[in-house]
Structure 1
Amino acid sequence: MELVFIRHGEGEHTGNIPESLHLPDPSLTPSGKQQAKILQEQLPLHAEDIMIISPTRRTLETACIWSENYNCRRIVSPLVAPRIFPYRPNARTLPCDRLLTIKQIKHDFPIIEMDETFPGDTIWRDGINTISEESFKRKARTFLTYCQNITRKQIYIVSHDGTITAYRQMISGELLTREDFPKETQVISISLENATE
């Protein structure tokens, strides 16, 4: 089985780093919206496909633009939310990486389903950004099992550079660095056949 990870399009929080990282709830820039539109040609979707999306505005916008006019399932999950990489104890979540509330998602993105794996769990509030490496691995294994039980044509995961790299490292067993971060809307396929975890 193969998971296809896609990093979100260019977000407003990347315009003037490090100051822009303190922007809460950043949207896609016009360039980011164009990048998401190009995904329609690069990766055409099918009704049998499923998208699993991080609960941030920029990932949800990327997914909605990319899947416009396609009738695939779209599910938001905190298990693919922003993740600091490499993990640092005592790190804090920046405003740009705070998750949207379930209420905000339902209001602003009504076509998106909610992942019910952790109902009422604090993960919907806190995400996976700063949880310990061991805690991340436990939750990531739960997520990968969930994906393996999905009977869809293809699973696409719209997420963040650190999150994608953390999953890649866990699945492959390779030691990765920030140099391995995907670019905006870059596509990374990961096979679960040879997963080390």
Structure 2
Amino acid sequence: MKLIFIRHGQGEHTLDLPGSLQLNDPGLTLHGQSQAAELRKKFNVTEEDIIIASPVRRTLETASIFSNEVRCSKVASPLVSPRMFPQKPEWNTLPCDTLLTKCQIRDDFPSFSFDMEQSNELWEEGINTMEEEEFRKLAIGFMEWCRDQGKKRVFIVSHDGTITSYRQLLSGTTFTRDDFLKETGWIEMECPDSFSTLKR
């Protein structure tokens, strides 16, 4: 099974750094919307695929535009929400990375479901500042869930730090911020048949 990680398009929170990072609930810019539409040329999403998106507006918008209303399974999950990379204990979650509530997602993105069992705490706090070992356990559980869906392709629309964290876990390779994907950049990885080598 293929895991295809896609970084969201250009967000409003990137236009006037660092102050714009204080924006609440930033969406895609017009350029970001065009970037998301360009992804259709790279991938022909079908009803046989599944799309999992971080529960923030810019990723849900990217996934919605990219899938072009294809009736595939679409899931919002805090397990692919913003994650700081590398982890800095003294840093806090920025306003631009605050997760939408399930009610907001139901209202604004009704094609997305919540098929995974996740605690209210995870929906409130996300994985941004989560300790590495706890993230590892949840990430492995998430990938096992993806594998169990029986799909050939799982598209994961997420964030630079989150994608890099998953890449590091899956590959066993150490990455830095220099390895971040660009806006709507993507990388394809094979989902392991067994996760025993990833567990400590």
TM range (shorter): over 0.9
Alignment of 1:80-99 (within 5 A): 80-99=80-99
What amino acid maps onto 2:144 in structure 1? T
Moved over 4 A (4+): none
Tell me the matched-pair count: 196
Name 2:106's counterpart in structure 1.
Answer: 106
Matched residue SS, 2:69: coil
With over 3 angstroms needed to count, the CA separation of the structure-2 counterparts of 1:69 and 1:102, relative to structure 1, is closer
Name 2:168's counterpart in structure 1.
Answer: 169
What amino acid maps onto 1:80 in structure 2? V
Name 1:39's counterpart in structure 2.
Answer: 39
CA contact (8 A) 2:53 2:60 kept: yes
Aligned: 1:64 with 2:64: yes
Alignment of 1:150-189 (within 5 A): 150-189=149-188
What amino acid maps onto 1:28 in structure 2? L
What amino acid maps onto 1:154 in structure 2? R
Alignment of 1:19-58 (within 5 A): 19-58=19-58
Matched residue SS, 2:166: helix
Name 1:146's counterpart in structure 2.
Answer: 145
Matched residue SS, 1:174: coil
Alpha carbon RMSD of aligned pairs, Å?
1.3
Deviation at 1:152, TM superposition (A): 1.6
CA contact (8 A) 2:2 2:152 kept: no
Q: Which moved more, 1:65-74 or 1:166-175?
A: 65-74
Deviation at 1:144, TM superposition (A): 0.9
- For residues 180 and 56 of structure 2, the distance between their equivalents in structure 1, rounded to whole angstroms, comes to 18
Alignment of 1:126-145 (within 5 A): 126-145=125-144
- For residues 56 and 193 of structure 1, the distance between their equivalents in structure 2, rounded to whole angstroms, comes to 28
Deviation at 1:68, TM superposition (A): 1.7
Name 2:117's counterpart in structure 1.
Answer: 117
Deviation at 1:121, TM superposition (A): 2.9
- For residues 58 and 193 of structure 1, the distance between their equivalents in structure 2, rounded to whole angstroms, comes to 29
Deviation at 1:40, TM superposition (A): 1.1
Deviation at 1:91, TM superposition (A): 2.1
Deviation at 1:191, TM superposition (A): 1.8
Matched residue SS, 1:122: helix
Aligned: 1:15 with 2:44: no
Matched residue SS, 1:35: helix
Deviation at 1:115, TM superposition (A): 3.2
Gaps of 5+ in 2: none
Identity %, equivalent residues? 49
- For residues 191 and 152 of structure 2, the distance between their equivalents in structure 1, rounded to whole angstroms, comes to 15
CA deviations over 1:122-169 (Å, ceiling 9, x no partner): 000110000101111111011011111111231000000000000001
